[in-house]
Structure 1
């Protein structure tokens, strides 16, 4: 077997696929978390949550969940658990976007992107850490 065949073997490619998904999800959650204080401001995010029917204070735990969850996914730390713990955050986002139709590009943003992220989190929970994960280093 040559080097390319070795890298793309089924067990190895599955590990790399899980890594790629994990890094993509981690980056998305980290970006959404950082947009809250850096773009919208935390008071602005609180106002948006309140206008969307959620208690304003819930903006803070959502911000922390996205920030810490995104960082944990990037590192590969407890990937299955973190993926599952981020699902309630996405359910909240789904409730906000559901009335706006399917396409996220529509006014107010539809629910297609949120639904995709939920499916991706479910897939990540099933796949696990993948390659180059901190959790694997801890297990030895």
Structure 2
């Protein structure tokens, strides 16, 4: 491979699969960042802790969940350790699934149903399988 070929391959347009992984990664990152920021900015952290306690979890777990969503969302947006972050967020979503499971299927129902949480879990699994995608900090160049 010549120096020109190497330069052109680095400058080439990302493949559609890489763009799809990027799109999913950015969407998931935005959702997790929004969910994290809603805790202190909308519900307050004491209010979030009270909700966790009312849902059967220790109130203090609101704080590590907030951090997981915040740091996980930022990592996904940046494309940093995408596979690991997607897998690490699955237990957080499993906890959310337990909260929403008794409320029925539709998330628009009273108390929010479980379909949105289940979809996020499937999307995280897909992201873990796909990896970083284009324009990621953790991206390795194909050679």
Normalising to structure 1: TM-score of the pair? 0.90
Structure with larger Rg: 2
Match of 1:83 among 47, 72, 86: 86
For the pair 1:131 / 2:134, whether they are aligned, the reply is yes
Normalising to structure 2: TM-score of the pair? 0.88
More helix by share: 1
CA distance in 2, matches of 1:28, 1:22: 10
Q: Could you list the runs of 5+ residues in structure 2 that have no partner in the other structure?
A: 1-11
Structure 1 stretches of 4+ with a deviation exceeding 2 A read none
Match of 2:18 among 15, 18, 21: 15
Cα RMSD for the two superposed structures: 1.9
Aligned to 1:99: 102
Aligned to 2:68: 65
Cα offset, 1:136, TM superposition: 1.5
CA distance in 2, matches of 1:26, 1:136: 16
1:35-50 → structure 2 map (5 Å cutoff): 35-50=38-53
